[in-house]
Amino acid sequence: MAETKITLEQVRHVARLARLELSASDEQRIRADMDEMLAYVDKLNELDTKDVAPTTQVGEAGTPMRDDEVTNRPDAEAMLANAPSRDRNYFKVPKIIE
Q: How many Å apart are CA 31 and CA 34, to the nearest integer?
A: 5
Provide the binding-site residues for another protein, judged by CB under 8 A: 6, 10-11, 14-15, 17-23, 26, 29-30, 33-34, 36-38, 40-41, 43-47, 49, 52-60, 63-64, 66, 72, 75, 78-79, 81-85, 91, 93-94, 96
Alpha carbon distance 74, 77 (integer Å): 9
CB of 35 to another protein, least distance (A): 11
Of the candidates 32, 95, 94, the one whose C-alpha atom is nearest the C-alpha of residue 22 is 32
CB of 95 to another protein, least distance (A): 8
CB of 88 to another protein, least distance (A): 15
Q: What is d(CA 83, CA 68) in angstroms, rounded to the nearest whole number?
A: 28
